Amino acid sequence: MKVSKISDLIDWTREMHSQLAQSLSSGSLQHDKEMASMILSYLADHERSLAKVIDGFEHHADPKALNTWVYDYLEHKPLDLSRSCTAPFSKMTFDEICRTVFDVHNQAIDLYRELLGRADIPEARELLQSLLEIEEHETMRLAQQTNRIRDM
């Protein structure tokens, strides 16, 4: 998907979280370790929920912000999932699963920070700030939850 406007970025981000959820869910069903299967299932549910939250931004955001062009701001592709997913989730250890999911979220955070620093209009800055805060908050929440599951 080509990202030209903030609305495209939101679509792309939602789709990325949905695809990640599908991969995690599939890995959960195939993993032979109970703990890894449990974290995969939890993370898949979390990614599906996050995709729905991101979808809500597009329905409620200011049209000026949604139609703001971002292609001039992007020095790279929005996210590189292949950088994060070097093996199927069904073959990863608990720590590799967590590291992979956090890498995806951190790439999204870095992208939103980069775009926020370049946004020209207040409506775009506000929307990008909200998207950034969601990604940061959810990444922190995931870190807490994965640590709790690891401690079980």
What share of the chain has pLDDT > 90, as a percent?
64
Output the domain CATH number for residue 84: 1.20.1260.10
3-state SS, the chain, equals CCCCEHHHHHHHHHHHHHHHHHHHHHHHHHCCCHHHHHHHHHHHHHHHHHHHHHHHHHHHCCHHHHCCECCCCCCCCCCCHHHHCCCCHHHCCHHHHHHHHHHHHHHHHHHHHHHHHHCCCHHHHHHHHHHHHHHHHHHHHHHHHHHHHHHC
Q: Is residue 93 part of a domain?
A: yes
| Residue 13 within any structural domain of the chain | yes
Residue 100 belongs to domain spanning: 6-151
Min mean pLDDT across 34-43, 77-86, 112-121 is at: 77-86
Dihedral over alpha carbons 117, 3, 10, 109 (to 10 degrees) = -40
Asked if residue 113 is part of any domain, the answer here is: yes
pLDDT of residue 1: 58
What rounded mean pLDDT belongs to the chain?
88
Half-sphere exposure of 131 (CA within 13 A, CB side): 35
Domain count, the chain: 1
- 57 or 87: which leads in pLDDT: 57
Is 22 a member of any domain? yes
Query: How many angstroms separate the Cα of 102 from the Cα of each of 97, 123, 133, 142?
Result: 9, 28, 15, 8
Is the predicted pLDDT of residue 146 greater than 70, yes or no? yes
Query: Do 74 and 127 touch, CB atoms closer than 8 A?
Result: no
**pLDDT tens track for 96-110:** 999 999 999 998 899
Is 37 a member of any domain? Answer: yes
CA distance 146 to 36: 11
Written as one letter, the residue type at 71 is Y
Residue 1, in any domain of the structure = no
